[in-house]
Amino acid sequence: MAETASTLASILGSPRLAAVDSLAACVNDKVNAVFGREPLGPQVKSILNGTPLRHRLHPALAQVPVGAWTTAFYLDVLALLGDRRSRRYYRSGADAAIALGIASAVPAACSGMADWADVSGSPRRYGMVHALLNVAALSSYSISLAARRGKRRNDTLALASAGIGFVALSVAAAIGGELVYNLGVNVPASPALSPPEDFVDVLAGDELQPGDHRMVEVDDYPILLLRDERGDLRALQHWCPHAGAPLSEGALEDGVITCPWHGSRFCIEDGSPVRGPAATPLPVFNVREQDGRIFIGPPA
What distance in Å separates the CA atoms of residue 204 and residue 208, rounded to the nearest whole number? Answer: 8
Three-point CA angle 41, 38, 283, nearest 5°: 70
Count of CB atoms within 10 A of residue 231's CB?
11
206, 227 contact by CB (below 8 A): no
Upstream peptide bond of 277 is cis (omega within 30 degrees of 0): yes
287, 296 contact by CB (below 8 A): yes
What distance in Å separates the CA atoms of residue 164 and residue 227, rounded to the nearest whole number? Answer: 58
Contacts of 16 (CB under 8 A, 6+ apart): none
**What does the pLDDT read at residue 35?**
95
Contacts of 135 (CB under 8 A, 6+ apart): none
Pairing of strands 233-237, 252-253: unpaired
Q: Which of these, 62, 49, 169, 162, lies nearest to 105 by C-alpha position? A: 62
For the chain, 300 residues long, give each residue's pLDDT as a single digit of tens: 556 556 766 777 777 777 899 999 999 999 999 999 999 999 999 999 999 999 999 999 999 999 999 999 999 999 999 888 888 899 999 999 999 999 999 999 999 999 999 998 889 999 999 999 999 999 999 999 999 987 889 999 999 999 999 999 999 999 999 999 888 888 877 766 788 889 999 999 999 999 999 999 988 889 999 999 889 999 999 999 998 999 999 999 999 999 999 999 999 999 999 999 999 999 999 999 999 999 999 998
Give the N- to C-terminal CA distance of the chain in Å, as an integer: 40
282, 222 contact by CB (below 8 A): no
Three-point CA angle 23, 124, 62, nearest 5°: 105
Determine which helix (DSSP H) or strand (DSSP E) holds 61, and give its type and residue range.
helix 58-81
